[in-house]
Structure 1
């Protein structure tokens, strides 16, 4: 195993967001130093303003994504600063322009999550341009801002390319770590099932970790599938695909748990399976450490994770004895996949199921196609409604600031609204509280620094605050708000030293800005109930698409099947996120939580049944006579699913007798004769589809 120097280990443990924060801070520091040396401190402050605005969109990303996002942020920032400069002498027109800039900035969200950071850059540029003192007005000031934005774009491309190998490694590390966490969450849910008064905490953790894993897997796909060809790249892709398959098989571990009962034997079986899942999670954690540190794991033979299930004593005449072989097979499959992942890290050649060209289909789309914009030019679009809401809020904040007795710095009130007001009420409330607390902390820090720090030290604090604010924006927003307050106060002071810090006014502006943002959350609101019909419909369509591909053994396109599986996971995650956001909305407009939760529960169960069907079909594919027996079953199940996952079809009445029959397990183990188990699984699959349809109709009020 290669030796890792103790001096290097702390750097290897830095997560991607910390490296990105250091990368941004270092770039700003170098640009500031160069500008101050060549043009003086006043010009350097303007150059840094442009660079900071462009840096908002500089995240841990591939070079192509960095070019698209940082380039767009730089362009929009320069245009916003130029508009402010042209209208500075006309306060009334400037207020309208601020609203127009906000509207255009928020409309970029039509391109989805990729525009999240880009959308804030022109708003920050507007604030910085408003803070420019009279001595720096004019075309020259705007040119310095543009130069800073262009300089940072160049830095982002160069530094991002240099960090690519590490970013790819850490993306895989985070995917493996998230997979391990999901195993532990599933073990907690399984271990707590069957007991009286089972708390909901393990289930909430499972749902949270499902969403987190989906995000981490997509980030890893975007990095690894776009990496240059090579042995290391193929190994990492192989490891990632193993993790994706592990997630799919893990989903099946929830099936049939209700058949175990709540007596001592049932609890013992659950705890044994839960222990096996935790053992596999530890193996995944160890694999993540080896990937992160660049070391090769030792060959850890050890006892198979399913061995403990072999030792469980269940009487042969008891129905649960028929289920044990199936449980052992699922745990064995998980254990084998985890060990295969280890072997890849030990140097075993990766045999990828898809070509590199096929893998590109799983990379998230990038760029700014104009076709994404027209669907959001309607009054029902959440993007358009939020754009109008933000435009009204920022214009109101600006005009109100002109009337306040401390209105010499209206940009701070505009900034206070811009950073708090989000598209959803829950996000706005979270930002409001963190912003107020962070601003007060940041102001206290600046008060202390203003009495003890030298100008050079303040400049160093500004760089550290910038990197901290950038790194933690998606993780600890109160820390980002604190660092951003320090950064904004110091930057405004650097641009216009004569204005002072005006701490009391800044706190008052922040409190008023938070109040304004909260108030405007109710202007043209985009309650989750407005989009629930489309969200539920998408879940049913994507589940049917995945089921259709899964029930075509050997005849379907493997790329399309994997894409359909990812879409089904994504649609379930999106509906779960909508349900979570809706819980803080006014009671009268909240989503029907019980019905939506039922859709999610049965949707995941349907996915789990499909996973078991795929594993059973893999066992049957080598049998020559299987097609004649299995194909009619698959065709019939596919037709039933198409009818039951269609909201336009007549509702299917509950069939308690059929459900009771499905709970009877075949007498022969699946290893001896998989066909009866497949037939039972397909029946359960059809029953889950009926349950989803009923829950969906109830959620939509049909």
Structure 2
């Protein structure tokens, strides 16, 4: 149960206090709307409404790339959006007298803008700047000089570039705190989904849904953690930045232990005792999620009551071990201390996060230079296009697909009886058509619903003849459309509809509000975008032969770094382990995302579900084993440095390298599977890991090799299934 809804009534009434408690994306949207509003107001009062529209159009398409990030990352993005948008506006303005030639130009501009996605997701807002510029320029009243239009667009874009740098510097500290709060919130959500999955282990439909939720929350947490890294790890030195960085590093480590919480639960069985143990462990995870929700609320500046204190974990262990359901000879008594010990490690990390928020770190675990290694690359090199010069590239295929789709939308818009706004057809296709069918279907439904709701709002506004109100609503729509483009696309669709209709009305007041035309264009555009999904499609199975070896290589690298002998003279060892861990998480996350997207594709081209689900399951288990081994080496002291432990770790390291070699044909897997036939309760050490760690080390190394063998076997099975003829 989340703590956040009850917090809302506790917000202070001061508008300034409320402002600094809103989410980062809303705060960003407000700054965008304010900047555009000021630019429009100034030129409207000093020049004319027409000039104000031209200037604000340049500001709007430049603002698309203004997202919560660092100043050094922001200005190249906003500048590129401004340049690409201004170039598109100039081309459309000069070719406006030649409609048929203009259609070809639109196709070329769309192709260029979509190819910018070769730089990765960060180029998404930049790529859409050209589309929005095309739409805005086609809506400009006839008689406007192309030179005048381009000049005022450039002025608006330049002014907004300056505004974005000003606001991003003012809001930088707040963005960092909110990014960290969002990462903690996502971690709390993952704790709750892990608790749900813990209660529903098995093959039931409920268990499958819990696992699906877990995978979704894992992907969301990975995205939130990277966004926080990009902001916090680049922060100038200060006590606040040091404290927040330490909290983020602790949250990243907590994710590791949480992944390990699923290990060995299958040994509990399914009887009443197993149900009780799972319920008690899940209750502890939810309590820790509440503690993390408290920490993220503190970062946002919201005062909340502390969750109810939990009984000591030693009491929990005693109550389970003394349960009448646990017979004296039941081998599960050996497992309980290990399960409770993992919960204790999680609880230690949660408590450490609160201590860091109270006192700050005594020292930083990583230097500023080492932290920079975990920041996502930001460059814009032309060499990024080298890999996208063939039709095997999803980026090139999407660029061609989008170019054909928007060109067709334009020419169909010209031929329709209501052809006064062909740019709306272009916009409808552009916002719905995505790089994969899953996102396109989601956007299609939300776009249609958002357009209908937006039209209802505009019908209400049509009865109010107040230019000032229209302008304020327009600016509010700009801010909302910008704020929720990623978080809640339905709100963006509603706001974009209001924005488009009001802009058209302000440019041509005599035409009124062409609502029926807008609805018709949206329905037709959504249908066209859906149809063009099947033109040069980039089905997920095309990339699987490349992504599977990448997953095995990432796991192999993490295994090598996790089990590498400790060298006190090598200060970079911990950094390499963290980098290898992140790469392995990213590789598994990308595979999981591809599998989810493939479920929306035609049945005959879908990815092989069974082997890939097995690969993800055993791959995550392998990651959990490696994390446990790494933590055992860090936390269990001298015993892990004995010759016996070092020999076992070295042999396991070599075995994992052989098993996870993408070129391996399964050598050694049969022997590991044979040895694993008895790797159940009978091999559980008789003494708890807190008393004697070496027997638990040997068992952990054995099951680690077992999951590595099964991960590699699942990868080979998936590749073999790809070679079979598609199902009909």
TM above 0.5, yes or no, is yes
Which residue of 350, 369, 387 corresponds with 2:381? 369
Partner of 1:288: 296
More displaced 10-residue stretch of structure 1: 143-152 or 379-388: 143-152
Partner of 1:516: 528
Partner of 1:545: 557
Q: Does 2:585 correspond to 1:558?
A: no
Q: 1:297 to 1:167 in 2, by over 3 A?
A: farther
Partner of 2:263: 255
Partners of 2:359 and 2:689 lie apart in 1 by 34
Partner of 1:650: 665
Q: 1:4 to 1:576 in 2, by over 3 A?
A: closer
Partners of 2:272 and 2:117 lie apart in 1 by 54
Q: 1:451 to 1:322 in 2, by over 3 A?
A: same
Which residue of 320, 330, 336 corresponds with 2:348? 336
Task: Using the TM superposition, give the Cα deviation of residue 304 of structure 1 relative to its aligned residue in structure 2, in angstroms.
Answer: 3.3
- The answer on whether the counterparts of 2:32 and 2:63 sit within 8 Å (CA) in structure 1 is yes
Q: 1:445-504, CA deviations, whole angstroms, 9 ceiling, x for partnerless residues?
A: 222212224111111110111111111111221221111011011112223334443222
Say what the alpha-carbon RMSD is for the aligned residues. Answer: 2.0
Task: Using the TM superposition, give the Cα deviation of residue 196 of structure 1 relative to its aligned residue in structure 2, in angstroms.
Answer: 6.6
Partners of 2:191 and 2:307 lie apart in 1 by 22
Partner of 1:668: 687
Partners of 2:128 and 2:555 lie apart in 1 by 35
Q: 1:131 to 1:681 in 2, by over 3 A?
A: same
- The answer on whether the counterparts of 2:107 and 2:407 sit within 8 Å (CA) in structure 1 is yes
- The answer on whether the counterparts of 1:297 and 1:342 sit within 8 Å (CA) in structure 2 is no
Other structure's SS at 1:134 match: coil
Partners of 2:148 and 2:203 lie apart in 1 by 72
Other structure's SS at 1:346 match: helix
Q: Mapping of 1:558-637 within 5 angstroms?
A: 558-623=574-639, 626-637=641-652
Q: 1:481 to 1:196 in 2, by over 3 A?
A: closer
Q: 1:60 to 1:520 in 2, by over 3 A?
A: same
Which residues of structure 1 form unaligned runs of 5+? Answer: none
Paired residues in the alignment total 699
Partner of 2:724: none
- The answer on whether the counterparts of 2:11 and 2:18 sit within 8 Å (CA) in structure 1 is no
Task: Using the TM superposition, give the Cα deviation of residue 391 of structure 1 relative to its aligned residue in structure 2, in angstroms.
Answer: 0.8
Q: Does 2:103 correspond to 1:95?
A: yes
Q: Does 2:704 correspond to 1:692?
A: no
Partners of 1:296 and 1:359 lie apart in 2 by 32
Which residue of 482, 487, 495 corresponds with 2:507? 495
Other structure's SS at 2:373 match: helix
More displaced 10-residue stretch of structure 1: 363-372 or 285-294: 285-294
Q: 1:381-401, CA deviations, whole angstroms, 9 ceiling, x for partnerless residues?
A: 000000011111111111122
- The answer on whether the counterparts of 1:644 and 1:690 sit within 8 Å (CA) in structure 2 is yes
More displaced 10-residue stretch of structure 1: 297-306 or 238-247: 297-306
Task: Using the TM superposition, give the Cα deviation of residue 209 of structure 1 relative to its aligned residue in structure 2, in angstroms.
Answer: 1.0
Partners of 1:376 and 1:14 lie apart in 2 by 40
Other structure's SS at 1:407 match: coil
With structure 1 as the length reference, what TM-score do the two structures score? 0.96
Which residue of 180, 195, 198 corresponds with 2:188? 180
Partners of 2:305 and 2:164 lie apart in 1 by 34
Q: 1:145 to 1:348 in 2, by over 3 A?
A: closer
Partner of 2:172: 164
Task: Using the TM superposition, give the Cα deviation of residue 356 of structure 1 relative to its aligned residue in structure 2, in angstroms.
Answer: 1.3
- The answer on whether the counterparts of 2:197 and 2:207 sit within 8 Å (CA) in structure 1 is no
- The answer on whether the counterparts of 1:22 and 1:467 sit within 8 Å (CA) in structure 2 is yes
- The answer on whether the counterparts of 1:53 and 1:73 sit within 8 Å (CA) in structure 2 is yes
Partners of 1:296 and 1:459 lie apart in 2 by 39
- The answer on whether the counterparts of 1:546 and 1:565 sit within 8 Å (CA) in structure 2 is yes
Which residue of 10, 17, 21 corresponds with 1:13? 21
- The answer on whether the counterparts of 2:666 and 2:713 sit within 8 Å (CA) in structure 1 is yes
Q: 1:194 to 1:409 in 2, by over 3 A?
A: closer
Partners of 2:673 and 2:561 lie apart in 1 by 29
Other structure's SS at 2:249 match: helix
Which residue of 240, 252, 255 corresponds with 1:232? 240
Partners of 1:298 and 1:265 lie apart in 2 by 31
Other structure's SS at 1:462 match: helix
Q: Mapping of 1:94-493 within 5 angstroms?
A: 94-193=102-201, 198-293=206-301, 303-305=311-313, 307-312=315-320, 313=322, 314-493=326-505
Partners of 2:465 and 2:578 lie apart in 1 by 57
Which residue of 67, 92, 95 corresponds with 1:84? 92
Superposition misfits of 4+ residues, deviation over 4 angstroms: 3-6, 194-198, 294-302, 652-656
Other structure's SS at 1:647 match: coil
Q: 1:507 to 1:331 in 2, by over 3 A?
A: same
- The answer on whether the counterparts of 2:242 and 2:360 sit within 8 Å (CA) in structure 1 is no
Partner of 2:40: 32
Partner of 1:54: 62
